[in-house]
Amino acid sequence: MADRIEREIEEILKKIDDLPERRKVKAARKPPSTGPSNLRVLSRINMRKVMMWSLFAIIVGALLFRAVPGGYFLLIGAIIVFVTAFILSTRGGPTANAPEKRWRGQPLDLNEPTWPNKLKAWWKGRGRT
């Protein structure tokens, strides 16, 4: 086992020695955006922010806008937005499209074994003793 680890370390060190040296490259300045600024603002919106602002609107609507005509509709709209944002945030999201983690070309499984697999392993280990 120690020989295998030692060989892997040697292999990694050889690959590091073979890499060409990198020169420091100045970061290129981004050109000024020609697109509308509204699109940049919309790209920074996430479900947490939507939920936070809708919750804020619910609280303000419940406390202040009861006497204002149309305040009831603001409250109902904020509740609908909050529930919708909550449902969308609990769905797959960006992690559903995440690439599979690999080490040396082999897929990694970082999840703990399920209870049936633990039971099978226990049963197999019990038979060996």
Task: Give tens-digit pLDDT for 49-96.
Answer: 888 888 888 887 777 777 777 778 878 888 888 888 888 877 755 555
Among 1-5, 33-37, 48-52, 81-85, which stretch is predicted with the lowest mean pLDDT? 33-37
- Summarize pLDDT for 14-29 with one digit per residue, the tens: 887 776 666 555 555 5
Predicted pLDDT of residue 14: 83
Q: Can you state the angle between helices 47-63 and 71-90, rounded to 10 degrees?
A: 150
Q: Report the share of the chain in percent with pLDDT over 90.
A: 0
What the block records as the tokens of 49 is 């922010």
| Cα separation, 115 vs 126, whole angstroms | 16
| Burial bucket for residue 85 (CB in 10 Å: 0-12, 13-18, 19+) | buried
More confident of the two residues 105 and 33? 105
Give the separation between CA 127 and CA 73, rounded to whole angstroms.
67
Please say if the pLDDT value at position 97 is more than 70.
no
